Amino acid sequence: MPEEGEKEEMVTPGEVLGKAADLKAGKGAYVAPYRSSEIQYVFSSLTGLRHTLTPPSDSPDQRPTVEVIGHKARGAVPEAGSVVIARVTKVMAKTASADIMCVGTKSVREKFTGVIRQQDVRATEIDKVDMHLAFRPGDIVRAVVLSLGDARAYYLSTAKNELGVVSANSTAGETMVPISWTEMQCPLTGQIEQRKVAKVGS
Mean pLDDT of 164-183: 94
Mean pLDDT of 36-59: 86
Domains in the chain, CATH or no CATH each: 9-74 (2.40.50.100), 83-194 (2.40.50.140)
CA 192, CA 3: separation in Å to the nearest integer?
Answer: 57
Residue 166 clears pLDDT 50, i.e. is over it: yes
Give this prediction's pTM.
0.64
Mean pLDDT of 153-179: 94
Q: Quickly state the pLDDT bin for 138 (edges 50, 70, 90).
A: very high
Residue 5's pLDDT is 40
Residue 45's pLDDT is 83
Residue 146's pLDDT is 95
Alpha-carbon distances, residue 182 vs 16, 87, 134, 185 (angstroms): 43, 18, 8, 11
